[in-house]
Every structure is written in structure tokens, then in C-alpha cells.
Amino acid sequence: MEELIEEAKNGNKEAFTDLFIAIENELYKIAKTRISNESDIDDAVQETMIEAYKNIRKLRENQKFKKWIITILVNKCNKIYKRKYEKDVSIDEYNLDKYIGSNSYKNIEDDLNFYSLLKQLKYEERIVIILYYMEQYSIKDIKEILKMNENTVRTHLFRARKKIKENYEKGVI
């Protein structure tokens, strides 16, 4: 990946395309935590790609590419959310076919239960859970991506885990 990043920074369009294709599914999942409409998600991902392409030469540390592009995506999603939605987004409209094809979950029922539990969380809790458990980012990385205090990230994780556990035990799915 380092080599592709360097080539993309030097203006190689194919290298940038290969980079973007490699992380497109991750970006989709992250955007889905904030926006429920498929076309808005596609817009956010596409706008992220355009901005990243225009600014990739500004990336100082190649190893921070994924964090950098996810930060761009989160900002794009927040702009779309503020412009189009008045209340917190649910995951009711989630297009599981697109998502399930790209992950390793065992069956659709598990996915539906998981997203039903996620639906009960606030946006900040959902995004932190997705970044921490599904994308395997550290708390420090999440802090940088979301521009939050490290203790705030820990608090969102704690509250999200607690709510998920309580809802699961109550059978609220």
C-alpha cells in the first residue's frame, strides 16, 4: 500500500484508483453509520474520493493514509447529514446485500441483529463502535479521525457497549 500511496502522490491516477478501490467497502460501512440514504452514502464516498485525489500530495505520512481519508469521509458525511437530515439517522434502510457481500459474517440473521442493536445507539456511539470493532482502529486513532478527546472516545465506547448489552439481554432487537 505504501508504494501505491507514493505513486498516487506523484500523480499516478491508476495508483490512486487502486488505493481507493482497496478501502471503498470500509468507507461505505463508515458512511452508513451517519447516513441512511444509499445515494447520499455514494455521494459522500465519491466526494471523499475527489477531495482525497485533489489533496493527496499534502499527505505527509503515508502510513496515516487510511486515517486521513476516513477523516475526510466523516466530514463529508457530517455536511450531508446537517444539510439533509433533521433527526438522528436509523439503519432501517440499510442495504445489507452490498454490505454482506464484503464481510465475513456467518449469516444474514446475525447482521440484522447486530444492526438492530446499533440502531439503538446515538451516532457518536455507532461510529466509535464501527471504527473500533469492525475497522480495528485504536482509541488513539479514533480520537484523531473524529477529532475527539481520548476520554470522550472511551466514554462513547463504554456507553455503547453497555447499551448493546442491556438491549441484547432485554431482547430489544
> Does the 2-170 domain belong in CATH 3.20.20.70?
no
Specify the higher pLDDT residue, 95 or 24.
Answer: 24
The 10s digit of each residue's pLDDT in 153-170 is 999 999 998 888 887 777
| pLDDT of res. 165 | 84
CA 7 to each of CA 47, 64, 91: distance values in angstroms, whole numbers, following the listed order = 21, 15, 37
- Give the pLDDT of residue 80: 87
Q: Domains of the chain: which residue ranges?
A: 2-170
Per-residue pLDDT at 93 exceeds 50: no
State the chain's mean pLDDT as an integer. 81
3-state secondary structure (DSSP) of residue 104:
coil
Which range is least confidently modeled, 42-46, 75-79, 90-94? 90-94
Average pLDDT over residues 116-138: 84
* Residue 94: per-residue pLDDT: 41
Query: Exposed (0-12), middle (13-18) or buried (19+): which is 110, by Cβ within 10 Å?
Result: exposed
Contacts of 167-171 spanning 24+ positions with Cβ under 8 A: 167/117, 167/120, 168/117
Segment 55-66 mean pLDDT: 91
Reply yes or no on whether the pLDDT at 173 is more than 70. no
| Secondary structure (DSSP) of 5-30 | HHHHHTT-HHHHHHHHHHHHHHHHHH
Is residue 128 classed exposed, middle or buried when 0-12, 13-18 and 19+ CB atoms within 10 A define those classes? Answer: buried
Q: With contact defined as beta carbons under 8 Å apart, do 92 and 121 qualify?
A: no
Side-chain-facing half-sphere of 156: CA atoms under 13 Å: 23
pTM over 0.85: no
Give the CA distances from residue 124 to residues 20, 110, 116, 128, 143, in Å, rounded to whole numbers and listed in that order: 25, 23, 16, 6, 12
